[in-house]
Structure formats: structure tokens, C-alpha cells
Amino acid sequence: MKPIATITRTKAIMERHNLSFKKSLGQNFLIDVNILENIVSKANVDDKSIVIEIGPGIGALTEQLAKQAQHVYAFEIDGRLIEVLEDTLAPYDNVTVINQDILEVDLEAFIEENVQQGQSVQVVANLPYYITTPILMKLLSSHLPIDSITVMMQKEVAARMSADANTKDYGSLSIAVQYYTTSKVVMNVPKTCFIPQPNVDSAILQLTVRREPYIQVENEDLYFEVVQASFGQRRKTLKNNLKRAFEDKLDTERLGRVFNEANIEPSRRGESLTLEEFAKLADAFDRQLAR
């Protein structure tokens, strides 16, 4: 039988199950087997891997993962697709499909219950564009025992996540991703590889989860609060953005002391600061707020 990720098989599955694409769930199905095989290869999935897949759709990527992995746990929010997946993935006894919104899953408890200690856990997914960032931030900020995350997403979002300081794509999202992982765009995927065809091209981003964050900070929540505030209005200076965000906690004089302590010029913009410089700034904030 042809792989699921072909136009003829995809259309046949859709017709057999009387399915239509749900725009509200960002459903665009991949119809290029080579790309899926590449994703599995780039993710380094092997017969010892426990894979968590998010949004399996009709099972195109799941099928390729199941051929290599020890077990695949696929979380699908769309109840219409559960019966479809039971059909398309029937040949694979190493796949468990779970009808649940990944954002509502207690993944720490799930991994503890289903994965033996020491086993490699990888997340591999073709993420819906509209919810890419919330899903990734949940995975990263939860400090889960995950080795890597290999995901297909909108090309522009992948560029932002892997961007360096002093570039137009660099922002709070870049910093959050790089704080927890090393990130690399491993492949671009043209929009012509999907049905229905999305408006933009995609990219595959590989994130290798750091055992320890890239930098150590006194207060992680405050660190990300400072980062977020620094990009509040990109064209404004650090001083203006942070004054606006923290006006109820620090007056102008104390804010000045924060910049002096961190040895950072208040006239700079957020996009010019490295992760290390943001750490100095956040730690100086933490000390001032404690006084």
C-alpha cells in the first residue's frame, strides 16, 4: 500500500471517512514522503526512541515514526480523526493515539507513567501554525525529561526562534528558545508539499534540550518578564520599555541604578542584548526589587 503522505492516498482517506480540512485547527496535510523520512532521520529516531507526536492528522508522519521508533504517543485534538487514525495506523502496534489537547496534558505525569527511566524521549511534530509558540513554550518551560524537539512550523517563526542578537528576527521568542535549547533550522519545506496549500512556506526546526539553561539567573520568571518588556515596542529604548513595564515597582532613580549595576546603556534597544546581558539586567532588577 502507498504511504499515507501521497496525494492519492490522502484524498482516498479523506473521501472514505467523509473528512474536510478544519481551518480552525490549522490542518494542512503533507504529501511528500521524502520530507517525512527526512524529519524522522533528522530527529535521530531509532528503535530505542519514545516519541511524542503532536497533531498527527491522518497519520502521515506517525506512519514514518512508527517504522523507526520503539513507541509513538500521538496527541490529536480533533475527535473526528481518532477513527481515521485507528484505520490508517492499524498495521502498527507501537502507536498509541490520544484524543486530547496537548496544552491541557500533564506531560510530566504522562512521561513518568509511560516512559522508563533513562529512555530517550523525543518530540516530533508538524505543528499547526496558529498554536506553534504556546506548544513549544509549554514543552520548554515545564523542564520535561525530553532530549530533543524536531518540529515543522511556519518558516518565519523558525527564523525568529533561531535568530541571533542584532538581527530583525531576534526577539523574546528567540531568547526563550535559546535559553532552554540549542536551535537549528535543518530543512525548508515549500508550501506546494501540502494539501490544502498554506499561504507560506515551512521549515523544520531542531531543538536540542539543554540539561541546564544556557545561563544561570537569580529569578527565571523575572528574567523572562524583563525580556518580554524589553521588546514591548521594538523601536523604543530599554529605558522607555522597562520604565513603562515596571513603573509600579521602580521609580526612575532606582531604574537608573539597575542599568548602572548591570553595566548596560539604557539607550540601547532590546534586540541588541545577548542572553548574558539580559541575565545581568534581570539579576540587577531582582536585587533592586528586593531592597
Looking at the structure, do residues 70 and 121 belong to the same domain, yes or no?
A: yes
Does residue 128 form part of some domain? yes
The pLDDT value recorded for residue 29 is: 85
- The pTM (predicted TM-score) of the whole model is 0.90
93: amino acid identity, one letter: D
% of the chain beyond a pLDDT of 90: 79
Does residue 215 form part of some domain? no
- Cis bond before residue 56 (omega within 30° of 0): no
Looking at the structure, do residues 158 and 62 belong to the same domain, yes or no?
A: yes
Decide if 195 contacts 239 (C-beta within 8 A): no
The pLDDT value recorded for residue 250 is: 85
Domain count, the chain: 2
Residue 28 labelled as part of a binding site: yes
Looking at the structure, do residues 77 and 172 belong to the same domain, yes or no?
A: yes
Of 209, 236, 255, the residue that ends a domain is: 209
| Alpha carbon distance 39, 196 (integer Å) | 20
Looking at the structure, do residues 75 and 200 belong to the same domain, yes or no?
A: yes
Mean local confidence (pLDDT), 76-94 = 94
- pLDDT band for position 226 (50/70/90)? very high
The pLDDT value recorded for residue 96 is: 98
pLDDT at 22 over 70: no
% of the chain beyond a pLDDT of 70: 98
Does residue 131 form part of some domain? yes
CB-side neighbour CA atoms (13 Å) of 77: 16
Looking at the structure, do residues 117 and 150 belong to the same domain, yes or no?
A: yes
Looking at the structure, do residues 40 and 131 belong to the same domain, yes or no?
A: yes
Which CATH number belongs to the domain containing residue 58 in this structure?
3.40.50.150
Q: Three-state DSSP class for 183?
A: strand
pLDDT at 82 over 90: yes
Residue 79 labelled as part of a binding site: no
Of 177, 209, 241, the residue that ends a domain is: 209
Residue 59 labelled as part of a binding site: no
The pLDDT value recorded for residue 234 is: 83
Residue 253 labelled as part of a binding site: no
- pLDDT band for position 198 (50/70/90)? confident
Residue carrying C-alpha cell 515551512: 202
pLDDT at 130 over 90: no
Does residue 91 form part of some domain? yes
Which helix (DSSP H) or strand (DSSP E) does residue 140 occupy?
Answer: helix 132-141
Does residue 1 form part of some domain? no
Looking at the structure, do residues 64 and 141 belong to the same domain, yes or no?
A: yes
Q: Convert the pLDDT of each residue in 100-129 to its tens digit.
A: 999 999 999 999 999 998 899 999 999 877
Looking at the structure, do residues 118 and 185 belong to the same domain, yes or no?
A: yes
Q: Which three cell numbers stand for residue 14?
A: 479523506
The pLDDT value recorded for residue 235 is: 86
Which CATH number belongs to the domain containing residue 279 in this structure?
1.10.8.100
Looking at the structure, do residues 224 and 277 belong to the same domain, yes or no?
A: yes
Mean local confidence (pLDDT), 71-100 = 95
Q: Convert the pLDDT of each residue in 51-62 to its tens digit.
A: 999 999 999 999
Looking at the structure, do residues 197 and 170 belong to the same domain, yes or no?
A: yes
| Alpha carbon distance 259, 257 (integer Å) | 5
Decide if 122 contacts 56 (C-beta within 8 A): no
Residue 126 labelled as part of a binding site: yes
The pLDDT value recorded for residue 219 is: 95
Does residue 15 form part of some domain? yes
Domain that holds residue 154: 7-209
Looking at the structure, do residues 126 and 262 belong to the same domain, yes or no?
A: no
Of 185, 209, 233, the residue that ends a domain is: 209
Integer-rounded Cα radius of gyration of the chain: 21
Looking at the structure, do residues 78 and 197 belong to the same domain, yes or no?
A: yes
Residue 76 labelled as part of a binding site: yes
